[in-house]
Structure formats: C-alpha cells, structure tokens
Amino acid sequence: MYQNVKSDQHIPRATIQRLATYLQVLEAFDKSLDGKEGRERETISSDKLAAMCDVNASQVRKDLAYFGQFGTRGLGYYVTYLIDVIKDCVNANRRWRAALVGVGNMGRALLNYKEFGRRNFTITGVFDCDPFKIGDRVYGLEIYSTESLIEKIPELGIEIGIITVPAEHAQDAAEKLVAAGIRGILNYSSARIRVSSDVPVEYVNFFHQLYSLTYNVSKIQR
C-alpha cells in the first residue's frame, strides 16, 4: 500500500494547500462519474489532474510523491484511492466537530457553508459575548455565552475552534477556547493570537489570494 506520512515526514504548507485543491477537483470528477460502470477503476494521470487544477504536472507528481509510489506508469492514479490517500494524509477521513466564536456576518457565512458538512466538518457549538445574541438560534443552533465555552467544548466533543470575532476580541476568544481544551484554532480575525505551542493556529487572511491576484494582474501587459 502507500507509506504513512503522518508520523515522520513534514509536508510543507503550500503542498497541503494544493492537496486541498486536488481533493476538491478529484471529488468533483468522481461525482461526475456517478452511475458509470467501473467507476472504482477510473484512473487519472498527473498531467490531467495538473491541468484541472492549474498546477504544473511536475509539481503534482512531487506533491503526490509524499505518499510514496502508488501511481502506475501510463495509467495514472486510481481516483477513489487517491482521494482516500489525500484525506488520510490531512486527517480528513474522520469527523471533526468545531465551535464558532463570534456570530457576525463571517460567522453566519461559515455556519451556512454547506461544503464543511459535506466534508465531515461540523460546527456544533456557537458562541458570542453579546447578551442580545445569547439564547437566539442561528441555523438551528442556540447561541451560547463565551463564558460557557469551558463546559460546552468537552460536552459537545468539540476539537476545533473557529474565531470570527473582531480583531480586538480574538486573543480573549483564543484563550477561552484553549482553557476549554480545544486542539486547534482557525482564526478569521485579522489579529495575531498567542497560545500554547501545542495548539496549532491557522490564519485565514483574505489578502493572501487578493494580493496574489493584484500581483498577477499587474504582470499582464495590456
């Protein structure tokens, strides 16, 4: 089978990001084969995957090499198997429960983001510090006080915290999440946050893509 990459190898962030793109494209491709005979034997070449993802083919092969040699020369990769291997690598083959802290526009957008649920990533607890919001329901979930994070996180089996509060409240939200036993934080606020090093933090910064775009746009001569 394939090498288990989790225990020793370090996979760079840029590779993980491309794996997320491959997964999205492969799942859409697999779904398009729905009902077709021999779907489980369908293969895809690195060239084709590369073209579908706007990545160059040697980069795709390099990224997939983290999993060892499991493509077949001239045939490519089994689609369903490749999906499985990538999911296994990023630990997306299990359910993750998340808490959302901060019910503003961004929070609501994420609560309504269907793709999370389809990928076994479920927001099961919603928190805010605004007394006018606490007790209300949003997309079927009751809004709890951030003060109750400490009880609710273990009670609801939540491992991931999503921060969608304004920048000035992000550090406080992070500390409450960590105190409640969260394992990792996805931070949508623009503030840097400081927590214990055994709690990884990932930042969603919309300027990552926006600046890639303005950089690329400006390089094109008109």
Interface residue list for its own copies (CB under 8 A): 6, 11-14, 16-17, 19-21, 23-25, 28, 52-54, 89-92, 96, 104-106, 108-110, 112-113, 115-116, 119, 121, 159-160, 183-186, 190-192, 198, 200-220, 222
> Which is closer to its own copies, CB of 148 or CB of 204?
204
Nearer to its own copies, 20 or 38 (CB): 20
For its own copies, give the closer residue by CB, 75 or 109: 109
CB of 75 to its own copies, least distance (A): 24
- In angstroms, the CA 66 to CA 6 distance is 10
φ, ψ for residue 89 (rounded to 5)?
Answer: -60, -45
Q: Cβ closer to its own copies: 33 or 52?
A: 52
Q: How far is the CB of 149 from its own copies (least distance, A)?
A: 18
Task: Please say which residue, 40 or 207, places its beta carbon nearer to its own copies.
Answer: 207
C-alpha distances in angstroms, 221 versus 32, 210, 218?
37, 19, 7
* CB-based contact 113:137 (threshold 8 Å): no
Kindly state the tokens that stand for 135. 């007790």
Closest CA to 123 of 150, 102, 105, 151: 102
d(CA 111, CA 115) in angstroms, rounded, equals 10
Residue 134 vs 201, nearer CB to its own copies: 201
Helix and strand element counts for the chain (H, E): 9, 9
Residue pointed to by tokens 């993750």:
96
User: For residues 69 and 214, which CB has a smaller minimum distance to its own copies in the complex?
Assistant: 214
Q: Least distance (Å) from its own copies to the CB of residue 181?
A: 10
Residues 6+ apart with CB under 8 A from 113: none
Find the shortest distance in angstroms from Cβ 37 to its own copies.
26
Scanning the structure block, which residue is given the tokens 């609710």?
152
Q: Nearest Cα to 49, choosing from 73, 78, 13, 85? A: 78
Question: Minimum distance between the CB of residue 147 and its own copies, rounded to whole angstroms?
Answer: 25
The minimum distance between CB 176 and its own copies, in angstroms, equals 18
- Quickly count: other Cβ atoms within 10 Å of residue 188's Cβ: 22
Shortest Å, Cβ 137 to its own copies: 16
